[in-house]
Structure 1
């Protein structure tokens, strides 16, 4: 069971364009939505995928050489954990007494990651995670996460987890999350405005279905925040009639689902910015699980099981060669006789 101190509360999902490629303006806008959600009575607010400083749409529009014009600016405006901008976001969560699940491009050393942070209503960081496998062209921009980033965390609002975008198409990833008794899930999306009509698997219909199926399979509440593409973003990214067909303004299709997969709020028009609200009752999860629980009573571990490596994967493991040689030279120190 959960260590939750609240079982009934309100949540909010953001549908809005980022302050594209401008981290400081983006942080200001994020704090404004944090304030609005708290004033609207929400105990948690969820943001879209890499909302700070926005999704790198140029990777879908032209050659890598053409897209290089955006690379330095994107890198410089990515969010660094522990930076002054990071501390401002934490302070806002504490000031407005609201949990925040933030989608951001994380800069760590020389690499960017598709990241999410869970911050509690005291401004404490519950967890940060990275997308396990960037999708398709995203791999030209972002590095990979590891198994430790497929995690569900105890909070005052229950067991909370998060994934990005097409991670919701990965059956084993989802099963790993379901197995951790997730109660509230954030499914962050970047906007459904690219390749409209040409690639149905990138459409709002297909991907909202993925969010809804996550709720149905996991018997958890799912917040699906979704960004929009603004006119100013179109002006920056679209420099030909062909690109005008590839990336459209709007694409916001945010939604919130219950543990029985029921939509819990009315959608906003796809070009409109705002917050969607829904009421949470963790008690209803037990009713949903009475029918389905794929990692519990509705499983067959004697037939099918998941091998899940959730250890952090370090690129470098440092050790002291002298200490290692000394230890190996003393059998009793190694428990040998």
Structure 2
């Protein structure tokens, strides 16, 4: 019996968030999810740090100047399990659509550049973090770990995600290719910064990175992209120098096929909306027949990648078995001098017990 490959419509967001406003951006997120579903999409992808917006202020002046925005940015970042997060999961479930959300993830006192993959039933498939924030992003965000370079089985195929210049990290890309990724979400901020002065930050280079990812990985690439609103420029650009650095617009959302073709008509860069493409995973076989970089087109005898997926937990709690604790206390009873060492080893709670 022949294999039936999934076919579905996908959408990528090109829009501006309601900058530094968590609740209002969740409202807009719900509306875009519903719009994508009405357009026939079974998957919708959002840009990098869509909630509460990309922190452009860190690129505009010294860190001391940007601190005026930091508390507000923290307060409006998304916390998993919060009422706002539950609203987004409910929107995915109510509309029967998979959602890949880019957001600033707040955990405790730290922020991370997160991507949350939610299935059409509103259940979490994955919560990943950008492995290495880029340049001045490191003044705001912490880092991910090896577990964040993962691809996941879903009813729409094997889905993975990366943020922005993770697509310029050859080893990270190869780690994803090697997991037989079929649908990739490449989340980008807008391409509005340093126009004419930093070509590497422009849409030509970065859309090329998404396109090359599609060809190298023989996969479909959804590349959602923020826009910068006039309100964001007015808030952050307080002098002529800053107004020259950050401009409104900058939206270049794209969807690419495994052979690199652009699958839709682009939106103008200052227009908000969704771009759609009809995905047929059967196309991947044709692309990989020519070149599968993690399969028949590789030379593992010459070059290989070591991928450590160990989670980077900051605190690892270890609880000792009751029998082991009892044995140590019995030894302490016969040798009182050992007692202080044992207390230090197993903790004051066990001493009280």
| Structure-2-length-normalised TM-score | 0.90
- Which residue of structure 1 aligns with residue 152 of structure 2? 153
* Structure 1 residue ranges without an equivalent (≥5): 330-337
For the pair shown, the structure with the greater C-alpha radius of gyration is: 2
**Distance verdict in 2 for CA 1:328–1:287, change over 3 Å:** farther
1:39 equivalent in alignment to 2:38 = yes
SS in 1 for 2:51: coil
Q: CA deviation at 1:313?
A: 1.3
Q: Superposed, which structure 2 residues align to 1:146-185 within 5 Å?
A: 146-185=145-184
- Which residue of structure 1 aligns with residue 296 of structure 2? 297
**Distance verdict in 2 for CA 1:313–1:328, change over 3 Å:** farther
Q: Deviations over 1:98-137 (max 9, x none)?
A: 0000000000000000000110100001011000000000
- Which residue of structure 2 aligns with residue 49 of structure 1? 48
**Distance verdict in 2 for CA 1:326–1:313, change over 3 Å:** same
**Structure 2: distance between partners of 1:220 and 1:301:** 21
**Structure 2: distance between partners of 1:209 and 1:197:** 17
**Structure 1: distance between partners of 2:312 and 2:236:** 36
**Distance verdict in 2 for CA 1:20–1:6, change over 3 Å:** farther
Q: CA deviation at 1:320?
A: 3.6
- Which residue of structure 1 aligns with residue 25 of structure 2? 26
1:212 equivalent in alignment to 2:194 = no
Q: Deviations over 1:64-117 (max 9, x none)?
A: 111011000000000000000000000000000000000000000000000001
- Does structure 2 conserve the Cα–Cα contact (< 8 Å) formed by 1:6 and 1:156? no
Q: CA deviation at 1:242?
A: 0.6
Q: Deviations over 1:38-80 (max 9, x none)?
A: 0000000000000000000000000111101100000000000
- Which residue of structure 2 aligns with residue 223 of structure 1? 222
- Which residue of structure 2 aligns with residue 73 of structure 1? 72
SS in 1 for 2:53: coil
| Structure-1-length-normalised TM-score | 0.94
- Which residue of structure 1 aligns with residue 259 of structure 2? 260
**Structure 2: distance between partners of 1:202 and 1:305:** 30
* Structure 2 residue ranges without an equivalent (≥5): 329-353
- Does structure 2 conserve the Cα–Cα contact (< 8 Å) formed by 1:5 and 1:156? no
- Which residue of structure 2 aligns with residue 12 of structure 1? 11
**Structure 1: distance between partners of 2:140 and 2:72:** 13
**Structure 2: distance between partners of 1:324 and 1:287:** 59
- Does structure 1 conserve the Cα–Cα contact (< 8 Å) formed by 2:174 and 2:294? yes
- Does structure 1 conserve the Cα–Cα contact (< 8 Å) formed by 2:41 and 2:97? yes
1:134 equivalent in alignment to 2:120 = no
> How many residues are paired up?
326
**Distance verdict in 2 for CA 1:6–1:41, change over 3 Å:** farther
**Structure 2: distance between partners of 1:212 and 1:75:** 33
- Which residue of structure 1 aligns with residue 186 of structure 2? 187
Instruction: Please tell me the root mean square deviation across aligned C-alpha atoms, in Å.
Output: 1.5
**Structure 1: distance between partners of 2:68 and 2:181:** 41
**Structure 2: distance between partners of 1:270 and 1:263:** 16
**Structure 1: distance between partners of 2:32 and 2:59:** 28
SS in 2 for 1:195: coil
SS in 2 for 1:267: coil
